[in-house]
Chain A
């Protein structure tokens, strides 16, 4: 479902980062491990089409990301890639369920309030649907971010450090949640993290080295 080949990225004035080739099929989970500064976020942004590929290729489904135009990349990302950031930002003017529905409409789909509500219910935050984002706890915010990332049943879910700020119990819980939801959506799940606790639970992993 997602695969890379010979991807390199060079920031101005520094040596190029060379990334190992990765691959992750639908319903599979891939863990990308690396310490700070090895280019984890850069890779995530390359995989998500947030940063354009300079060299090599990123293939999602049957499309090569680096061959899409800027606007097409934005649209493709909206429809096929769900991203959960380490720090999740929301549209302040909208409440919880509207933020989820915004993901539907920006991906070019019709807003489906029922689908959004049942997803929030599945994530155990259905009762907060009409609350303001700022009144939510960090954990609840992360669940909203997960809902927002998977509402369109993307081909790929990218998660940036989803567990690093959590204690062991919550860590396990979030991982379980991500696995369940990725499976329910039929997506490939790629987790980028320095959190080595996840290694034991996810057999399929790639380690980034500088």
Chain B
């Protein structure tokens, strides 16, 4: 019967006290640990997907929306830009730009976005081929790992895209895509994209007959998704359909070779955005580059780092409030452990005196009470950790369904050791006063009381 066993027996003797203390403690720890897990994974996703992109240039609108749409693929585009406007960015010899990667959005397959781009795009995320090859001809696609896993698409499979970003939107049944490659997993957004060349996106939309119905659904859709900023709906997404007269290349044997210079031959076509990497981020001209675009062109430029920071700050207020709530709960739980130990110590003063008589020194009695506090804290910590990971897993499921981003509850962080450390300290703080009192009890006086 060691002191540890005795402490344990004392704790389970009072199941109600136990429950009260550890539920509170577990809630506090759980909330803190959940915030850690969530923030960590969110930041991880955001950081991975930054992919060293310095600037995104797209249609005017909300810069944050443009970043979310074109880099994280969770929001709708702010609109499209004509290639003739973006042409200076796409020219190979631009002095500031290392890479300019065009993106064309607007279609999906089972909610997985189809992105018209060039081969620099998978390279951004260091995505390697798992099977097959990168797209070369029109309507060839290379798909991300999650797309392959969730939709079951295999090499050689054909599919028909849907317009917009929801699976139930208008279906383009005229043309079907064919899978020519599957990428390895990267943990970044490219896992959930279907990549093809820019021209395929144009071709899909060029074949459109009845525009009226289609435009209407698109309009409604964006209204809901956005509701903020003076975003110009009329220039949104798919005006390219109006210029079907222009499609001199369609139907003939023209090869789209995926290069930017190829895009420059189609000045009247549109793309959604251009992702830009600078040659040097610290170059003075690079610092002003985005502002120049915003002030002097009909396009909008935004820095992902700045916009994501803005987003963090917005989320930050909420997480900060939650964090304080969690700290408050942890404090209250420590107080509840203190009260319950203090109360039980008073009830057990004869017991503690007897333990002294039987040979336990003051230090042992002190340790007994401290151990009781620590055991409560450890159980609370374990419950809290379990709650946070289960909670994270539930949230992960929800996020996956809504945003296609894969979070997980089964990832453990180094910071959780810190949470354990703080829990133990709280356990000691809660028990130290009762422990000192127990150690200092005058056993002669206690035992003389009849």
Contact = CB atoms under 8 A, between A and B. Distances in A.
Given A89-B351, A91-B351, A74 B9 contact: no
Contact of A93 (B13, B356, B362, B364): B13
Given A74-B359, A79-B359, A107-B358, A93 B353 contact: no
A85 B356 CA distance: 14
B236 to A, nearest CB: 71
Interface residues of A, number: 33
A85 B447 contact: yes
Nearest to B14: A93
B6 A71 contact: no
B444 A50 contact: yes
B443 interface: yes
Nearest to B347: A92
Contacts of A87: 450
Contact of B1 (A70, A78, A83, A105): A105
Contacts of B20: none
A166 interface: no
Given A45-B448, A51-B444, A102-B6, A70 B361 contact: yes
Report whether over half of chain B's contact residues are helix, strand or loop; otherwise say mixed: helix
Contacts of B350: 89
A91 B6 contact: yes
Contacts of B351: 89-92
B2 interface: yes
A50 B357 contact: yes
B10 interface: yes
Contacts of B359: 74-75, 77-79, 103, 106-108
B269 to A, nearest CB: 80
Interface residues of B, number: 27
A101 interface: yes
Nearest to A69: B361
Given A92-B348, A102-B6, A74 B1 contact: no
Nearest to A75: B359
A66 interface: no
B360 interface: yes
Nearest to B360: A106
B341 to A, nearest CB: 14
Contact of A70 (B2, B354, B362): B362
Interface string B204-228: 0000000000000000000000000
B363 interface: yes
A41 interface: yes
B353 A111 contact: no
B1 A93 contact: no
Nearest to A108: B359
Contact of A78 (B10, B358, B362, B443): B358
B162 to A, nearest CB: 66
A107 B356 CA distance: 10
Given A45-B448, A50-B443, A51-B444, A74 B360 contact: yes
Interface centre among B2, B10, B354 (most CB of A within 10 A): B354
A174 interface: no
B305 interface: no
B357 A83 contact: yes
A111 to B, nearest CB: 5
Contacts of B362: 70-71, 74
Given A89-B353, A93-B13, A106-B355, A71 B361 contact: yes
Given A93-B10, A102-B358, A105-B1, A45 B444 contact: yes
B360 A101 contact: no
A98 B443 CA distance: 22
Contacts of A41: 448
9 contacts: A90-B351, A90-B354, A91-B6, A93-B9, A93-B10, A93-B13, A106-B355, A106-B360, A148-B358
Interface of B: 1-2, 6, 9-10, 12-13, 348, 350-351, 353-364, 443-444, 447-448, 450
Interface of A: 41, 45, 48, 50-51, 70-71, 74-75, 77-79, 83, 85-87, 89-94, 98, 101-108, 111, 148
